[in-house]
Amino acid sequence: MVGVGFWALVGLATLTSLATAWTLGANSNSPPFAPAIGANAISTMRAAFLIGILAALGALTQGGAISATIGAGLVDGVQITSLAATAGLLTATGFMAFGVYTGYPVPAAFATTGAMVGVGLSLGGDPAIDTYRRIALFWILVPPVSGGLAYLTATLLRRDDVPETVGVPLLAAVVSGIVANVQLGVIPSPPDATQSSIAGFVARGVETPTVGGIDPLAVFVTLSAAAVGFQFVRRRTQASVEDGIRTFLVLLGSVVAFSSGGSQVGLATGPLENLYGTELGLPGIVLLALGAVGILAGAWMGAPKLLQATSREYAQLGARRSIAALVPGFIIAQLAIALGIPISFNNIIISGVIGGGLAGGSAGVSRRKIGVTLAFWLITLVTSIAIGFGLYRAFAAVLGG
């Protein structure tokens, strides 16, 4: 029979996960709409409302892959217990709270990944070296890829021979085409896959011969979505370039906020994967719903203040440079979700801002600030491993288990 102590630990772990999700909703999901607020395309309160809804939907429909990596893919040979999950979540949340109150750039993905590696090793598990290599390679590639894509995007928007009535709609077409291929848990998928996209679902509905392993119907759906996005934004920019850019900023902020929810919720729910899935026997959607509720509450209660602060920064960047930073953010976030790799949105956005600034001849960020940020990210990862390891050992010594 399961004792009272077990349910007490379940309750504590669940509350800690909710607190982590709340923190993520209040802080990590705000950047996508800050440029739109800075450009006066949407009000702060309306943006906070949309962030909560979109991030929660992203959490429900896309959060499973990264949640599984955090919960079961970081350490081999052991399963994360409720006490270990609590220790890991408290460690990660402590780092995020420190970042909020001190202003230091603490990346949630680094803190959570490090904390869960620490508690897993403390349980007696073996390092998942292959997983670490994949994650480390992705993290290392994020700054140059995000900065490079932002540089190309900003360069396109600055070209005199490419009018903004063409350049901005082209970016909308790229984003729309990717949206058609976004993996969503609510779309019926084949037996060998956990998620499917709109393009993939339509392609499976009509049997057509593949060409070089590519389904022509999926390509057609992708191009159709791109054409719709291009035409919609083009009409807006032809009527008024500034209004068209504002419209695209709101749409871009929406898909990035959705992606942010899908990529961030696993940081809160991942530690409870074994507890909810194996020990309690609940379907994965229950755990994702828990994280989505926390993110929704955090966005509605905590995001408005942060939005007002970050929107002023983006207003100084300008609408075009903000677009250049957010487009790579959307692309990289979706790639990370597809690969099940936890990421830091701060890492992506900061790299995008630097890349977009280089297109204008100046990154707008000092080398010292970049160096301090990178050093703090590394310190966060290493220190969170050590604290997670030690905190679980302390809990186990006092409470047992």
| Cα–Cα distance for residue pair 89/266, rounded to 1 Å | 12
* DSSP character string of 140-164: HHHHHHHHHHHHHHHHHHH-TTS-H
pTM: 0.88
Q: Average of pLDDT values for 7-18? A: 87
pLDDT one-digit tens code per residue, 91-144: 998 888 787 677 666 788 999 999 999 999 999 999 999 999 999 999 999 888
Which residue do the tokens 């057509």 mark?
208
C-alpha dihedral sign at 92, 94, 95, 101: positive
Residues facing residue 211 across a β-bridge: 214
33: which DSSP letter?
A: G
Enter the tokens of residue 259. 């992606």
pLDDT one-digit tens code per residue, 301-341: 877 777 776 666 666 667 787 888 889 889 999 999 989 99
Residue 245, number of CB atoms within 10 A of its CB: 24
Alpha helices by DSSP H, listed for 240-366, are 241-269, 273-274, 284-317, 319-339, 345-359
Contact call for residues 154 and 324 (beta carbons, < 8 A): yes
Residues 6+ apart with CB under 8 A from 287: 67, 269, 272, 273, 276, 277
Where in the sequence is the domain holding 155, given as residue range(s)? 4-399
Look at the chain and report how many structural domains it folds into.
1
